[in-house]
Each structure stands twice: as C-alpha cells, then as structure tokens.
C-alpha cells in the first residue's frame, strides 16, 4: 500500500486536522515508513508460534472483598477544602447558555 496526498487529505479531514504543503509531505513520508514497517513484520515466519495473550506469566494477587464500616461523615468532610454541613463544595463546571 502506498500513501498519497489524497489519502492524507482524507485522513486529515476525518481527524479534523489541517496540514500545510510541507506538513502534508512529511505526513506522507512518515505514513509510508510506518506501513513499510508493518509490511516488513508480515514477512516473518510465525509458524508454530503461539499467540501472546499476556505480557508476563505473573498472576494478580487481589485481596478478598471485605465489608467494613464506612468512614464517618464528619471525618470525610474534614479533609475537603470546601464543604457545608453535608456535602463537598466544588466549582461550577457546567454553564447553561
């Protein structure tokens, strides 16, 4: 597969990117190098090699779920920078315009 200007422009449109002429040429070069690398990997003989499912043979040692007493309401609010008697106070993040 060969990447050309049309391919780069189509991908840039889908990704909402803009390139000048120099950036487009660099992108064509870079994408062709990436595709060449992947095609080179396809030349490897992988007969008899099992697919890799996990990166290591390690086993996760997870703790058992234990029901514990919840933290007291006052103790939780004590560490909050801003709060009232019952709730955390945070800055407004949604603007209704």
pLDDT in tens, 22-80: 999 999 999 999 999 999 988 989 899 888 888 888 888 888 999 999 999 889 998 89
φ and ψ at 88, to 5 degrees?
Answer: -70, 145
Please state the domain count of the chain: 1
- Tell which residue, 38, 46, 27, has the closest CA to residue 1: 38
Please give the model's pTM, rounded to 2 decimal places: 0.49
> Is 89 among the domain residues?
no
Confidence (pLDDT) at 54? 80
Residue 58 lies in a domain: no
CATH number of the domain bearing residue 33? 1.10.20
Question: Could you tell me if 5 and 21 are in contact, meaning their C-beta atoms sit under 8 angstroms apart?
Answer: no
For residue 19, the enclosing domain spans 5-41
């Amino acid at each position: 597969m060969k990447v050309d200007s049309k391919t780069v422009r189509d991908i840039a449109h889908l990704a909402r990117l803009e390139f000048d002429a120099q950036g487009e040429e660099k992108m064509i070069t870079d994408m062709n190098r990436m595709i060449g690398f992947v095609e080179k990997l396809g030349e490897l003989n992988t007969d008899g090699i099992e697919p890799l499912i996990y990166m290591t043979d390690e086993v996760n040692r997870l703790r058992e779920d234990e029901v514990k007493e919840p933290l007291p309401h006052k103790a939780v609010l004590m560490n909050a920078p801003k709060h009232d008697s019952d709730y955390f106070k945070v800055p407004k993040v949604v603007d209704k315009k």
